[in-house]
């Protein structure tokens, strides 16, 4: 996995260094604006309908949790342990978050503003999505499959942390911004990483089907919203003034 980060850094290293951005403070302003705009965005009819439909779909899917769990459990002996471990690590926030930081810092050494924005959005998406997922884990308190309490065992603030899947949240939050910043078949294939992680977590009895479905929705949703907002903000007209080598930029 770290080879992928080094490969991305290698790409940025061959780009000649230059002016980092017309607006280097955007990486401070964007997160603040994202947090402040969240309540207003959540109160829109479109967002409410989307969350309602998704919640209803996840609730409906939970009726199949036991059956999917038994099918996924069979994969534990049918797939190599090393392969499952790789997919587990793809969703491990303690691996993905540092890797996202390395990629972002590497992007800052290039003059490719689009790449910088994608790397920053991916990092912010992982952080925000995991904060949301961890809050839901704490509040819902659903037992994991290996605890043998059944899919309907929900005890808020009990310490059980099955719903939503943090691994599915992480991998989808990390990959989704890259898909929207660099749309195409190759970037779309990144969803296969999320699918592999979801199956691996189910196969090893860490999560129910509805857990990984919920995590995928959170990770994708946060990544999508941040990508669209940051792409829109990056195209806001600006007025630049340069005097004796010093430049000032105003967003209009």
Residue 61, judged by CB atoms within 10 A of its CB (0-12, 13-18, 19+), counts as: middle
Portion of the chain with pLDDT greater than 90, in percent: 62
Q: Is the pLDDT of residue 90 over 90?
A: no
Q: Which of 224, 241, 181, 201 is nearest to 54 (CA)?
A: 224
Locate 99 and state its tokens.
Answer: 């890797």
Residue 190, judged by CB atoms within 10 A of its CB (0-12, 13-18, 19+), counts as: middle
Residue 158: what are its φ and ψ, rounded to 5°? -90, -10
Model confidence over 116-152: pLDDT tens digits? 999 999 999 999 999 999 999 999 999 999 999 999 9
Continuous segment of H or E residues that includes residue 98: helix 93-108
Total residues belonging to the chain? 252
What's the CA gap between 31 and 62, in Å, rounded?
34
Q: Is the pLDDT of residue 244 over 70?
A: no
What pLDDT does 250 receive?
Answer: 47
What pLDDT does 206 receive?
Answer: 94
Q: Which of 163, 132, 161 is nearest to 225 (CA)?
A: 132
Residue 34, judged by CB atoms within 10 A of its CB (0-12, 13-18, 19+), counts as: buried
What's the CA gap between 75 and 245, in Å, rounded?
62
Mean pLDDT along residues 55-68: 94
pLDDT band per the 50, 70, 90 thresholds, residue 170: very high
Average pLDDT value for the chain: 85
What pLDDT does 26 receive?
Answer: 93
Q: Is the pLDDT of residue 6 over 50?
A: no
DSSP annotation of 251 reads E
Q: Which residue has the higher pLDDT, 122 or 43?
A: 122
What's the CA gap between 21 and 211, in Å, rounded?
40
Model confidence over 177-218: pLDDT tens digits? 999 999 988 888 888 999 999 999 999 999 999 999 999 999
Q: Which residue has the higher pLDDT, 247 or 207?
A: 207
Mean pLDDT along residues 81-110: 91
What pLDDT does 2 receive?
Answer: 47
């Amino acid at each position: 996995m770290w080879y992928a980060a080094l490969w991305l850094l290698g790409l940025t290293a061959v780009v000649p260094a230059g002016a980092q951005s017309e607006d280097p403070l955007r990486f401070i302003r964007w997160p603040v604006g994202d947090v402040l705009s969240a309540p207003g965005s959540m109160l829109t009819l479109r967002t409410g309908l989307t969350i309602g439909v998704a919640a209803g779909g996840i609730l409906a899917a939970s009726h199949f949790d036991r059956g999917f769990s038994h099918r996924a459990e069979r994969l534990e002996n049918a797939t190599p342990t090393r392969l499952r471990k790789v997919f587990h690590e793809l969703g491990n926030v303690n691996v993905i978050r540092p890797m996202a930081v390395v990629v972002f810092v590497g992007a800052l050494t290039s003059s490719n503003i689009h790449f910088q924005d994608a790397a920053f959005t991916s990092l912010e998406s992982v952080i925000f999505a995991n904060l949301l997922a961890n809050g839901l884990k704490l509040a819902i308190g659903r037992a994991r499959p290996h605890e043998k309490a059944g899919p309907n065992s929900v005890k808020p603030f009990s310490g059980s942390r099955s719903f939503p899947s943090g691994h599915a949240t992480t991998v989808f939050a990390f990959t989704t911004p890259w898909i929207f910043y660099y749309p195409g078949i190759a970037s779309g294939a990144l969803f296969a990483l999320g699918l592999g992680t979801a199956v691996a977590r189910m196969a090893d009895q860490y999560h129910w089907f509805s857990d990984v479905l919920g995590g995928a929705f959170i990770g994708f949703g946060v990544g999508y919203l941040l990508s669209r907002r940051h792409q829109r903000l990056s195209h806001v007209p600006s007025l630049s003034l340069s005097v004796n080598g010093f430049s000032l930029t105003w967003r209009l």
